[in-house]
């Protein structure tokens, strides 16, 4: 059973879309026992890359290594605690490295690892796609929200249990 049948694709499907679909279906077939969502590599990576701060931090570190204070100034609205937590998580995942210099006080610099640099290409494609299609997505949301308000049945109060 295909994971996403061709019938669910918008018509007409481009050759690139069909190729991506075929690759996805082949990937799913390689797992005859089914996909354990708790062990799904795509879900695991996207859950992390797609959080509120990770992408911004990766993009900020892409051009050059930075110290903690410079990172905090470069990433708007992030707290020190959240920045430290996200940096630890990225270091744990191997996407960045932390370098401590023997100065007084010690200075710490963060830089993308080779693995972190390798994620920048697919991430830049996603960012480009998002930028190109953000207007369409916002319009679709507004249309959906407007239609949902018109067609949504009134909310019924739940019976109270005495």
Backbone torsions φ then ψ of 138, nearest 5 degrees: -60, -40
CA distance 4 to 26: 11
CA distance 156 to 154: 6
Structure tokens at 52: 């509120």
From first to last of its 162 residues, the chain has per-residue pLDDT tens of 344 444 444 456 778 777 877 877 777 777 656 666 667 788 888 888 888 899 999 999 999 999 999 999 999 899 999 999 999 999 999 999 999 999 998 899 999 999 999 999 999 999 999 999 999 999 999 988 888 777 766 656 555 554
pTM beyond cutoff 0.75: no
Among residues 110, 108, 102, the alpha carbon closest in space to that of 86 is found at: 110
């Amino acid at each position: 059973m295909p994971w996403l049948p061709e019938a669910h694709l918008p018509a007409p499907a481009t050759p690139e879309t069909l190729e991506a679909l075929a690759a996805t279906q082949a990937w799913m077939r390689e797992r005859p026992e089914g996909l354990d969502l708790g062990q799904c590599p795509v879900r695991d990576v996207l859950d992390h890359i797609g959080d509120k701060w990770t992408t911004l931090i990766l993009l900020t570190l892409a051009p050059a290594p930075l110290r903690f204070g410079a990172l905090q100034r470069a990433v708007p609205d992030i707290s020190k605690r959240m920045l430290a937590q996200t940096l630890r998580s990225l270091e744990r995942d191997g996407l960045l490295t932390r370098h401590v210099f023997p100065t007084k006080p010690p200075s710490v610099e963060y830089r993308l690892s080779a693995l972190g640099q390798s994620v920048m290409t697919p991430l830049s494609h996603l960012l480009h796609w998002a930028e190109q299609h953000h207007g369409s997505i916002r319009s679709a949301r507004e249309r959906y929200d407007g239609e949902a308000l018109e067609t949504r049945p009134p909310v019924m109060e739940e019976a109270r249990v005495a």
